[in-house]
């Protein structure tokens, strides 16, 4: 799709300025050098993010028994990331086809706006989490519960209400963007590209301002949380968990670091991008530069969906322990099954093939189970029957 047509003022003669505008009006967004890069990275983000967020959601819903406001926010954040990740295969297909969109105008608007809306839902939820943790740490009385509030001792009513309002406003915003967008977008074979506009950029400017408000709130909240934890660790070293407070403070700054790396470049570049959409005297080369830069910084924003599960487990020690226990149980089950199969194969082999015997208390010298190839588990079983002392593996 070409950019919007710019007509020079009638007072200007048809000079070089007019030719610039004409070339700009016919400018085609061609990101040939970025197609492969975008397709590969969006594919990786989709695969890794899908596995990690599904595992996180499984832990939150079925494995983690603790009910608190942070857990509710993390569940909603994982859902928002999964919806965003569902948009990535469409982008992969678009770039793999040579930036050709074949699904029509409606799907172009749905996928494109769903990506952006869920990105900002994640940003708002991260802001709510930081504010909730700050209120719980520094608040007094009812404020110390943060966004908490229970119903029948189970549901965090206030937290779910905040998330419900956020999702409701986001859905209305999504519907507005789908209806407001140009109907021809996607029909000409182009989607997710730079385009001129007069109304949407002002709305984007409001969203960018909202991001910087949330970002400032994160900086203040996590800085005060870290300062408070460091002060308690220094003033009360006799507390049972005092030695863990320094590590918790560092984790808070790591969360802020991830937020800055993923979303900071995109929103720092956004004002320049919005200004170019509102300008009528830009060259085609400058518009292509805006398009390429926007794609690169947007790639960093999509990368956040892969890093969010890491942040989930950093934010909550109980969630982290539950996840480790769940993975450890699965891995142990697989390892034990594999060890049992190997032991059965080894026992069958040793029974058929004679070997030099090792005498154990209460066993015959040439018993097949008393061979050098027998595992520690088999030896311990023999020793239990013989009433002897159990063997322990070397180094444990």
The pLDDT tens digits for 96-106 are 988 889 888 88
Q: Say whether both 375 and 264 belong to one domain.
A: no
Q: Is 98 inside a domain boundary?
A: yes
Alpha helices in 236-362, H assignment, sequence order: 242-278, 284-315, 317-352
Q: Is 176 inside a domain boundary?
A: yes
Q: Is 342 inside a domain boundary?
A: no
> Does residue 127 contact residue 218 with C-beta atoms inside 8 Å?
yes
Q: Is 17 inside a domain boundary?
A: no
Q: Say whether both 108 and 163 belong to one domain.
A: yes
Phi, psi at 8, each rounded to 5°? -70, 150
Domain containing 370 equals 356-396
Q: Is 216 inside a domain boundary?
A: yes
Which pLDDT does position 1 carry in this prediction?
Answer: 44
Residues composing the chain: 396
Q: Which of 19-28, 37-46, 149-158, 207-216 has the weakest average pLDDT?
A: 19-28
Model confidence band, residue 19 (pLDDT cutoffs 50, 70, 90): very low
Q: Say whether both 106 and 203 belong to one domain.
A: yes
Q: Is 308 inside a domain boundary?
A: yes
Assess whether pLDDT exceeds 90 at residue 124. yes
- Residue 197, exposed/middle/buried by CB under 10 A (0-12, 13-18, 19+)? middle
The CATH number for 84's domain is: 1.20.1070.10
The predicted-structure confidence for 335-362, as pLDDT tens digits, reads as follows 555 545 544 554 444 444 444 444 444 4
Q: Say whether both 315 and 366 belong to one domain.
A: no
Q: Say whether both 283 and 395 belong to one domain.
A: no
Q: Say whether both 167 and 241 belong to one domain.
A: yes
Q: Say whether both 161 and 211 belong to one domain.
A: yes
Question: CA torsion 77→162→160→111, rounded to 10°?
Answer: -40
Distance CA 200, CA 206 (A): 10
Overall pTM surpassing 0.75 (yes/no): no
The predicted-structure confidence for 184-227, as pLDDT tens digits, reads as follows 555 677 888 888 777 677 888 899 999 999 999 999 888 888 88
Q: Is 305 inside a domain boundary?
A: yes
Distance CA 125, CA 135 (A): 15
Q: Is 246 inside a domain boundary?
A: yes
- Identify the three-state secondary structure at position 151: strand
Q: Say whether both 86 and 153 belong to one domain.
A: yes
Task: Report the candidate in 300, 258, 261, 231 with the shortest Cα–Cα distance to residue 129.
Answer: 258
Task: Report the candidate in 144, 94, 143 with the shortest Cα–Cα distance to residue 295.
Answer: 94
Domain count along the chain: 2
Name the residue with higher pLDDT: 48 or 245.
48
Q: Say whether both 155 and 287 belong to one domain.
A: yes
DSSP state of 156: E
Q: Say whether both 257 and 367 belong to one domain.
A: no
Q: Say whether both 378 and 289 belong to one domain.
A: no
Q: C-alpha distances in angstroms, 155 versus 67, 77, 150, 212? A: 8, 18, 5, 32
Residues 6+ apart with CB under 8 A from 395: none
Q: Say whether both 214 and 360 belong to one domain.
A: no
Name the residue with higher pLDDT: 10 or 294.
294
């Amino acid at each position: 799709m070409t950019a919007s047509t710019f007509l020079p003022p009638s007072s200007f003669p048809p000079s070089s300025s007019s030719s610039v505008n004409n070339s700009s009006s016919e400018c085609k967004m061609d990101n040939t050098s970025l197609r492969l890069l975008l397709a590969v990275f969006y594919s990786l983000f989709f695969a890794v993010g899908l596995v990690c967020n599904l595992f996180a959601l499984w832990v939150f819903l079925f494995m983690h028994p603790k009910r608190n406001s942070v857990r509710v926010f993390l569940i909603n954040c994982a859902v928002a990331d999964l919806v965003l990740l569902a948009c990535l295969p469409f982008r992969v297909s678009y770039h793999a086809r040579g930036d050709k969109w074949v699904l029509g105008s409606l799907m172009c608007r749905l996928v494109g706006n769903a990506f952006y809306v869920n990105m900002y839902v994640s940003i708002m939820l991260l802001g709510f989490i930081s504010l909730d943790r700050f209120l719980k740490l520094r608040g007094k009385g009812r404020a110390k519960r943060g966004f908490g509030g229970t119903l029948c001792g189970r549901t965090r009513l206030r937290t779910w209400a905040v998330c419900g309002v956020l999702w409701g406003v986001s859905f209305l915003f999504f519907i507005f963007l789908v209806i407001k967008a140009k109907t021809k977008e996607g029909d000409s074979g182009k989607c997710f590209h730079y385009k001129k506009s007069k109304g949407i950029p002002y709305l984007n400017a409001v969203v960018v301002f909202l991001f910087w408000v949330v970002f400032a709130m994160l900086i203040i909240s996590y800085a005060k949380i870290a300062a408070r934890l460091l002060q308690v660790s220094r003033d009360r070293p006799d507390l049972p968990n005092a030695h863990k407070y320094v590590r918790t403070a560092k984790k808070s700054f790591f969360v802020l670091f991830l937020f800055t790396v993923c979303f900071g470049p995109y929103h720092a570049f956004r004002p320049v991008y919005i200004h170019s959409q509102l300008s009528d005297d830009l060259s085609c080369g400058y518009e292509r530069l805006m398009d390429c830069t926007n794609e690169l910084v947007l790639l960093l924003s999509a990368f956040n969906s892969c890093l969010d599960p890491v942040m989930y487990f950093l934010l909550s020690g109980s969630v982290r322990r539950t996840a480790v226990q769940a993975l450890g149980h699965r891995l142990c089950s697989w390892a034990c099954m594999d060890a049992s199969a190997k032991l059965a194969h080894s026992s069958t082999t040793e029974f058929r093939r004679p070997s030099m015997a090792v005498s154990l208390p209460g066993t015959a010298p040439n018993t097949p189970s008393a061979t050098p190839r027998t595992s520690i588990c088999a030896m311990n079983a023999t020793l239990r029957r013989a009433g002897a002392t159990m063997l322990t593996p070397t180094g444990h």
